[in-house]
A = this chain, B = another copy of it.
Amino acid sequence: MRELAAQPGACAINTATLGFQAPLTDVIDAVARAGFGGIAPWRREVEGQDVGAIARRIREAGLKVPGYCRSTYIPATDRAGFLANIEANRRAIADAATLGAASFVMVVGGLPAGSKDIAAARAQVAEGTALLLAHGKAHGVRIALEPLHPVYAADRSCLSLVSEALAICDAIEGKADDPWLGVCLDVYHIWWDPGRGAAIARAGAERRIFGFHVCDWLVPTEDVLNDRGMMGDGVIDVPQIRREAEAAGYTGFIEVEIFSARNWWKRPIGETLAVCRERLVSAT
């Protein structure tokens, strides 16, 4: 496993960690000043702006962009809605290309309004992923499916398991020497899965691990969406999962992504960045 103390440049900050309190330009500078090597911005900070200028600012700060968050949810109640979702994602993928993002991070969506048919939602996700993969290749952007914790299966992601994401990769892309379709691993979503180790080993062997997000699962968790913890403050054995990914060949960024309305989002971003740096060494 890599020694992150010696490689701060292997670490990245997902801007959601900082609660979107400051303008993106300030965040870019703060992340660079704190010694990170990467920054993963969100569409809410980018869309409607001069994307080329943001990309330049990130480059000039010496940062890379491991991923661009995140897809518009794919499943819809009808075909027109599905196609509109695909179109929105195509535009986002074009922005990801402008940003030089290594991948476009797909949070696939849950059940369309009124539906109880999770199999149908999953079928829409598979079809939509195939369409977006073609678009991503054309723009030089890899597509990273991010399985989310099953607590979000209804409303955010009908894709829950790493093994499910790999099955989609298999079905769409098959074996590939240089895959364009892969997975983004987030310890919050996968720590509990008894099949995780095997799935990560397979994803690594197939070179499909495109991202690795870290945070922690707090006990108790007050809010499953916005009460995530700093690495070390919860029950996830983060080093074990990083070890699995790196043993499987992952060499990309370790990206901190913490949704924390009651704690970290209330702190000055410089303080949060300093703690992230420390915990990446001591608890990741």
**A contact set with B: CB distance below 8 Å:** 111, 115-118, 122, 149-151, 153-155, 158, 160-161, 164, 191-194, 217, 219-221, 224, 234-237
Contacts and interface: CB of A to CB of B under 8 A. Distances in A.
Given A111-B235, A149-B151, A160-B192, 16 more contacts: A116-B235, A116-B236, A117-B237, A118-B237, A151-B224, A153-B191, A154-B192, A154-B219, A154-B221, A154-B234, A154-B235, A155-B220, A160-B194, A161-B194, A164-B194, A224-B224
Nearest to A236: B116
Number of copies: 2
Judged by DSSP, the binding face of A is loop
Contacts of A116: 235-237
Contacts of A154: 192, 217, 219, 221, 234-235
A219 B158 CA distance: 14
Contacts of A115: 235
B153 A192 contact: yes
- Interchain residue pairs A-B with the least CB separation, the first 5: A153-B192, A151-B151, A116-B237, A150-B192, A154-B235
24 contacts: A111-B235, A116-B235, A116-B237, A118-B191, A118-B192, A118-B237, A122-B194, A150-B151, A150-B192, A151-B151, A153-B192, A154-B192, A154-B217, A154-B219, A154-B221, A154-B234, A154-B235, A155-B219, A155-B220, A160-B192, A160-B193, A160-B194, A164-B194, A224-B224
Contacts of A153: 191-192
Contacts of A193: 150, 160
A150 B160 CA distance: 10
- Residue in A149, A235, A236 with the greatest tally of chain B CB atoms within 10 Å: A235
Nearest to A237: B116
A241 to B, nearest CB: 11
